[in-house]
Chain A
Amino acid sequence: MRLSRRGLLRAGLAGTAATALGGLASGCAVPTGSTGRNMVLWYWSGGLSDTVVKNAKARYDRSVDLDAIQIGGYYRSKLITTMAGNAHIPDIAGLKGEDMASYLPNADQFVDLRTLGADKYKSQYLSWKWDQGIADDGSMVGFPIDCGPVAHFYQYAVFRKAGLPHEPEDVSRELDTWEKFFAAGERLKKRIPGTYLLTDVNAVFENVVQQGSRRYVDKDRNFVGDREHVRNAWALAVEAKRRGIVSSIVNGTPDQISAKESGRLPSQLGASWATGDLKNEVPKTEGRWRVAQMPVRPSNNGGSFLSITKACREPERAFEIIAWLLNADNQAQGFVDAGLFPSTPASYGMKKLQEPDPFFDGQVTMDVFGPAAQKIAVAYNSPYDVALGQPIKDEIKNVGVLGKDPKQAWEDAMSKCRRIAKHLGVSY
């Protein structure tokens, strides 16, 4: 056969057209959700235990093909793009805790888990965590995966050398207010010059805000970032700066890691998952760290949910799978595999969670995190919190880093918030 240029062009075109049509056809065949047999689950790397997912596949193999996909990159943006595009929506979707506030106003895009009998599981889960998955209209969007109780990580030998309480029980008991915590910081700095209790003022500000039961915007769309609870956090952060207990190191830089390793930053307020970060960043410090309760009361940082989208054709089966994936046994496995701190208190007493951790010189960290997780206050999480919290966090950073006058910084933050609130339709 003679190959002419024209013939080749035609063949190429026909091929392209066929592929395009084929793609179109297969695209139309599965517009949204599952075919019934097929059940698609979206999550991210480390979002669920791989072992548990594998077990779930085998367990439900007779009724569904559970297709669990780890979505890389910017998870939220991919999920909402798919949902807005109304095609190939997963049946079960993981929702990250920090994005929860933006999903909840769109509860109509998800199946209300109460209609599938979720309430009968409620007593097995941390109540504040359970409430975080519920939208304003009362419908339940997210089923709890994990949570992130915040505690006080510190280096035993450094605290001892500075003449501070150094046994975990003593630290928890004696550094139980911000005043005592700051005083300890002053003592630390005086006894071992060049040593700081915390990295920056934001560590104080954000933890104090997180401890409270209110953030920046309330349920009725009122700006509350100018109220007592935020002013108090601001004042404490400014005080930390004034008393010189925070370093000038930038969070997340090699400088910070080296300061942790050398003991010049022997303390941090971090969520349970910070354990994993510490082990990765400063492996040489194994055995030097301990965990105690943070001052005042524990707060939460992170933790995610599983949801069932409206596109799911078999919500009952999907719910059955979710409830199994996230039962107390499997949550314990999730902690072992991926450091996911269980939202099921029944897991805390299990043997595999009561293992002494050599990184903490044999301390059973669950003794601290477990009780902490059960004392967290639930705060209303508004979809406008990010936009209206950021100017305040930015300004307290300017106070901490650039030495900006706190009064001026507060005024600047408030005038910015006023402008943004107006733009977003939040009443100031």
Chain B
Amino acid sequence: MATVPALEKPTMTVADAPAVQPKTGLRKYWHLYAAISPFYLLFLAFGLVPVGFSLYLSFHRWDGLGSMEWAGLSQYQYLLSDSDFWQSIGTTIVIWALATFPMIFLAMVTAVMLNSAVRYKNLYRFAYFLPNVTSVVAIAIVFGSIFSTNFGLVNALLQAVGLDQVAWLNTPWGIKVAIATLMTWQWTGYNAIIFLAGLQTIPSDLYEAARIDGAGPVQTFFRVTLPLLRPTLLFVLVVSTVTGLQSFSEPQVLLQTTANESTFSGGPDHAGRTMVLYFFQQTFDNNDFGYGAAVAWGIFLVVVLFSIINWRLLQRRGEEQ
């Protein structure tokens, strides 16, 4: 049945189209549209409508329950002057960088090792992928213990080699490092699997040629593997950027305390308050839904900006070739 439209279309010419008319696209293929409609209907209800509503909301003042009040552009004006929002962008980028670059390095090393592993290949892949499907909340609780000051694993290791304790979750840099480590741990395996797929597309005759030309393993890696892995590398970078810029659960759970203080404030000096965490604080702590929506659109713009940078990187690569 899929062949029917394909056969019919070329027989229609521009000239007789108005005369034939009877069954246009929608009437003829309605059942096909109906078949694909569930996704679009769900997307409309749970994607497009909320997106549109948040834009509408960002031009209002609303406490979530009472009546909305028109605010014009004032939420966006405040957003531009809000030093807390700018700080949260900086925090997000620093955490993203601290997490992403070590993660890419580790993932690549892991992938190369997995690629040359002979036995238990699938077991290793499964094991490396596991952190990615574990609940972030559970991971964050475990990492909270690992980084705790007096009984944490990290400080135990530091003391074992004769260094001083670090109050990881109580100093601005410690907090950032702890969150970044958590994200690195969570994403290394996932990206290693992607790198592995990339590695397996590299034809083995290239390696043979390199070997015949007398290249050692290090030279082979930098001259053959790395250049051919570049598309995969960029894919990994793009995905990590989009997820990294939206980090929320990691700092939220890692820095929450049992006391009745805000769980969205991100620790001392707001060291762990990422953009999305700041959005949550404005919306759900302060009940400032209008401003929260404006912050969400600010985050959207930052992500778009980074996506454009990534896209440009991809473009330049295309031109080079």
Say whether B134 faces chain A, with CB atoms less than 8 Å apart.
no
| In the assembled complex, B40 has its CB within 8 A of some CB on chain A | no
Please give the distance in Å from B232's CB to the nearest CB on chain A. Answer: 38
A394, B257: Cβ atoms under 8 Å? no
CB distance from A267 to the nearest CB of B (A): 15
- Whether the Cβ atoms of A102 and B64 lie closer than 8 Å is yes
Determine the chain B residues whose CB is within 8 A of the CB of A390 once the complex forms: 262, 265, 281, 285-286
| Chain A CB within 8 A of B170 CB | yes
Given known A13-B31, A13-B35, contact A249–B149 (CB-CB < 8 A) = yes
Of the candidates B35, B171, B260, B270, the one whose C-beta lies within 8 Å of that of A394 is B270
| Complex CA–CA separation, A92 to B1 (angstroms) | 56
A251 near B170 with CB under 8 A, answer no
CB within 8 Å of B: which A50-102 residues: 74, 76-77, 80, 83-84, 98, 102
Contact A103 B65 (CB under 8 A): yes
Nearest-neighbour CB distance to chain A for B160, whole angstroms, equals: 18
Contacts of B172 in A (CB 8 A): 402
B window 64-114: CB within 8 A of A:
64-66, 78, 81-82, 84
Given contacts A394-B270, A402-B268, contact A386 B151 (CB under 8 A): no
Does the CB pair A302–B260 fall under 8 Å?
yes
In the assembled complex, the CB of A255 is this many whole angstroms from the nearest CB of chain B, namely: 5
Question: A253 contacts which of B82, B84, B144, B281 (Cβ < 8 Å)?
Answer: B144
Chain B nearest CB from A240 CB (Å) reads 16
Q: Tell me the smallest distance from the CB of A68 to a CB of chain B, in Å.
A: 23
Q: When the two chains form their complex, are residues B260 and A106 in contact, meaning their CB atoms are under 8 A apart? A: no
**Set of chain B residues within 8 Å of A378, measured between Cβ atoms:** none
**A139 contacts chain B at the CB level, 8 A cutoff:** no
B258 within 8 A of A: yes
Q: Is B213 part of the binding interface, using a Cβ–Cβ cutoff of 8 Å? A: no
Instruction: Please determine whether A109 and B257 come into contact, CB atoms closer than 8 angstroms.
Output: no
A386:B150 contact, CB within 8 angstroms: no
Establish whether residues A255 and B258, one from each chain, have CB atoms under 8 Å apart when the complex forms: no
- Give the distance in Å from the alpha carbon of A397 to the alpha carbon of B265 in the complex: 11
Contacts of A105 in B (CB 8 A): 63, 66
Q: Which one of B261, B285, B288 has the highest number of Cβ atoms from chain A below 10 Å of its Cβ?
A: B261
Query: What A residues does B262 contact at CB under 8 A?
Result: 386, 390
Contact A106 B149, CB 8 Å, known A251-B258, A401-B170 = no
B31 touches A277 (CB 8 A): no
From 199 to 255 in chain B, residues with beta carbon under 8 angstroms from any chain A beta carbon are none
Residues in A neighbouring B270, C-beta threshold 8 A: 394
Shortest B72–chain A CB gap in Å is 14
**Contact in complex: A83, B149 (CB < 8 Å):** no
What is the CB-to-nearest-CB distance from A258 to chain B, in angstroms, rounded to a whole number? 6
Given A252-B256, A253-B148, A383-B287: A13 in contact with B65 (beta carbons within 8 A): no
Report the interface size class on chain A.
35 or more
Given contacts A394-B265, A398-B269, contact A423 B78 (CB under 8 A): yes
Within A267-292, the residues touching B (CB, 8 Å) are 277
B286/A387 in contact, CB under 8 A: yes
- Is B38 an interface position by the 8 A CB rule? yes
Q: Cβ of B148 and Cβ of A255 under 8 Å apart? A: yes
Tell me if A255 and B288 are in contact (CB < 8 A).
no
The contact string, 1 if C-beta is below 8 Å from chain B, for chain A 216-252, is 0000000000000000000000000000000011111
Once bound together, how far apart are the Cα atoms of A248 and B170, in whole Å? 8
Q: Which B residues lie within 8 Å of A16 (CB)?
A: 38
Q: Does A5 interact with chain B (Cβ within 8 Å)?
A: yes
Minimum Cβ distance to chain A for residue B67 (Å): 9
- Chain B residues whose CB sits within 8 angstroms of the CB of A83 once the complex forms: 65
Contacts of A77 in B (CB 8 A): 284
Closest A residue to B282 by beta carbon equals A387
Docked CA distance A302–B259 (Å) = 11
Which one of B1, B66, B151, B286 lies within 8 Å of A254 (CB-CB)?
Answer: B151
Q: Are A253's CB and B64's CB within 8 A?
A: no
Q: How far is the CA of A249 from the CA of B165 in the complex (A)?
A: 13
Which residues does chain B contribute within 8 Å of A259, judged by CB atoms? Answer: 150
How near does chain A come to B166, taking the closest CB pair, in angstroms? Answer: 12
B41 nearest CB across to chain A (Å)? 9
Tell me if B167 counts as interface (CB < 8 A to partner A): yes
Interface residue B190 (Cβ < 8 Å from any Cβ of A): no
Q: Are A386 and B66 in contact (CB under 8 A)?
A: no
A202 at interface by CB-CB < 8 Å: yes
- Enumerate chain A interface residues (CB-CB to B < 8 A): 5-6, 9-10, 13, 16, 74, 76-77, 80, 83-84, 98, 102-103, 105-106, 109, 202, 206, 248-255, 258-259, 277, 301-302, 383, 386-387, 390, 393-394, 397-398, 401-402, 416, 419, 423-424
Q: List 18 A-B contacts (CB under 8 A).
A: A13-B34, A77-B284, A84-B65, A98-B260, A103-B65, A105-B66, A106-B66, A248-B167, A250-B148, A250-B149, A250-B167, A251-B259, A252-B259, A255-B149, A390-B265, A390-B285, A401-B268, A423-B78
Other CB < 8 Å A-B pairs besides A6-B1, A13-B31, A84-B64, 8 of them? A103-B65, A109-B65, A250-B167, A250-B257, A253-B148, A390-B265, A397-B268, A402-B269
